[in-house]
Amino acid sequence: MNPLISKFTYKLLGNETLGLRKCISCNLYERRRSWLNYFSIITDVQQLRGLDFWIRKQLYNTHFKKTGKRLKAIELSQYQLPRFERLYYQMKKNKTEEFCSCEILTRDFQREVLVDDLFKYS
26-66 pLDDT tens trace = 777 777 777 777 767 777 888 888 888 888 888 888 889 98
Domains: count for the chain: 1
Has residue 120 been placed in a domain?
no
Query: Within 13 Å of residue 35, how many CA atoms lie on the same side as its CB?
Result: 17
Has residue 13 been placed in a domain?
yes
For the chain, give the percent of residues with pLDDT over 90. Answer: 2
What is the extent of the structural domain holding 104?
A: 2-111
Stretch 89-110: mean pLDDT, rounded? 68
Stretch 14-20: mean pLDDT, rounded? 64
Has residue 116 been placed in a domain?
no
Which residues, in sequence order, are bridge partners of residue 4?
Answer: none
Q: Is 109 helix (H, G, I), strand (E, B) or coil?
A: strand
User: pTM above 0.85?
Assistant: no
pLDDT at 14: 67
**Cβ neighbours for 67, distance < 8 A, ≥ 6 positions apart:** none
State how far the Cα of 82 lies from the Cα of 105, in Å rounded to an integer. Answer: 35
